[in-house]
Amino acid sequence: MIVVSDSTPLIHLAKVGCMELLFSLYKEVLITKEVYREVVEEGIILEKDDAGIIQKYVGKSIHVKSPKSPSDLLVDKYRIHKGEADSIQLAKEIGAQLILMNERDGRNAAKNEGFKVKGSIGILFDALKAGTINEKEVLTILNKFKKNPQVFWIEPDIIKSAIEKIHTK
Residue-range domain boundaries for the chain: 2-121, 133-167
Q: Going residue by residue through the chain, which has 169 residues, state the pLDDT in tens, using 9 for 90 and above.
A: 899 999 999 999 999 999 999 999 998 999 999 999 999 999 999 999 999 999 999 999 999 999 999 999 999 999 999 999 999 999 999 999 899 999 999 999 999 999 999 999 999 999 999 999 999 999 999 999 999 999 998 999 999 999 999 988 6
Overall size of the chain counted in residues: 169
Q: What is the pLDDT of residue 1?
A: 86
Angle of helix 120-130 relative to helix 7-15, nearest 10 degrees, comes to: 60
CA pair distance 154, 146, nearest whole angstrom: 8
C-alpha dist (Å) from residue 131 to 29, 99, 124, 157: 20, 22, 10, 25
CA pair distance 149, 120, nearest whole angstrom: 14
CATH class of the structural domain 2-121: alpha beta
